[in-house]
Amino acid sequence: MLLRSITQLNRFSCLCLFFIASLLLRCYTSSHAQTSKTTQPESYYSLDDFKTVEKFDTHVHLNTTNPALIEQAAEDKFRLLTINVDAPTYPAIDDQQRLANQHRKAFPNRLAYATTFSVENWTSNDWSKQAISYIKNSVAQGAIGVKVWKNVGMTLRDNTGKFVMVDNPRFDPLFDYLAKNKIPLLGHLGEPKNCWLPLDQMTVKSNRDYYTKHPEYHMYLHPEYPSYEAHIQARDRMLAKHPDLRFIGVHLASLEWSVDEIAKRLDRFPNMAIDMSARMAHLQYQAITDWQKVHDFLIKYQDRILYATDIAVDQTATSADTRKRAHDTWLRDWRFLTSADVMTVPSIEGSFKAMRLPRSVVDKLYSKNAQKWLLGITTLTKGAASR
């Protein structure tokens, strides 16, 4: 009897030991597989891959009948989003929309467009109804987003002469409509922080050159206008009021001077993304002194950043100049994001190391994020796939 009990106990002990050993083996195998997976070497693009990788530039302004920019985009494997703007130096909004649809008809798999709205009749009682009606009509014609421009906050005034900021309650019905219908709002609100600094304190040469030539736009010389901080705070208040609004802060959300400040907004507003248009130099400037911070920012927020340039083409531009400018810009940016080269660029003084981002991150910046944040833009890729 005693022997039988001991034998049974030994069998039970063996079963327990076998079970524990199996668990340990399984855990080790799973952990080893996971470790092996995570330690696989990253894959990277080369400069030559620029010619073959399909890409999006989600911020251009095509204000001409000349298709040279689109033709260069096709050669360089880009699809484009042309954005209508309520800007005094651009054609009328209706003309911008006509041009966009004309080019879309000629290049259905290469170009999409975003509409805008006018603030010309801002003081009328039915302004918001008019603006929403125009947006509805634009979307029916194929627009995939709506642009709000810096005239809100910088030139638009109410009946009392006070500047109208983007968190003004009269915008609420329009932004509610966009949120309800999942139409993204692309916001250029404010200007680079350099605009409010003396020329000798500006961080980017291109800003210094521009405001030297255009002192009328140099806000440092015009303290009667809203401050830089007032623009940012009004934008943040607007986003807090409309948490369901899909918002793309163009030009690095006018926080180009600090990736830390951009990160704070991306953390605070989960429906917010940014594009890089006309602000790549500010990332490069920060890379001179803290390459790791810029690199880590691009890695951490890789799902929230869209590649864009802000290339603008009007009727005065020649085909040759348009194509060269676009190609040079696109290739230079590709080098900055994909290589490990030490670079210099015309916009800033000094050299910096390129970002050397993994292929998986580059694919998001150049393509996947455009399709995620600008839902209608997927028609371009579907059209291309069906050819």
Q: At what angle do helices 172-180 and 127-140 cross, to 10 degrees?
A: 30
Single-letter amino acid, residue 204: V
User: Looking at the predicted structure, is the pLDDT value of residue 317 above 60?
Assistant: yes
Cα separation, 266 vs 269, whole angstroms? 5
Domain ranges of the chain: 47-385
Q: How confident is the model at residue 382 (pLDDT cuts 50, 70, 90)?
A: low
Q: How confident is the model at residue 40 (pLDDT cuts 50, 70, 90)?
A: low
pLDDT tens-digit readout, 243-281: 999 999 999 999 999 999 999 999 999 999 999 999 999
Kindly write down the DSSP assignment for every residue of 317-329, as one continuous string: S-HHHHHHHHHHH
Cα separation, 336 vs 45, whole angstroms? 12
Q: Please, which contacts does 255-262 make with residues 24 or more away whose CB atoms are closer than 8 Å? A: 256/192, 256/193, 256/282, 256/283, 257/192, 257/193, 257/194, 257/203, 257/282, 258/286, 259/283, 259/286, 259/293, 259/294, 259/297, 260/293, 262/297, 262/301
Tell me the whole-structure pTM to 2 decimals.
0.89
- Residue recorded with tokens 């109208």: 164
To the question of domain 47-385 being in CATH 3.90.79.10, the answer is: no
Mean pLDDT of 140-169: 97
pLDDT tens-digit readout, 341-379: 999 999 999 999 999 999 999 999 999 999 999 998 988
pLDDT at residue 39 in the model: 54
Direct distance between the N- and C-terminal alpha carbons of the chain, in angstroms, rounded to an integer: 83
pLDDT at residue 234 in the model: 98
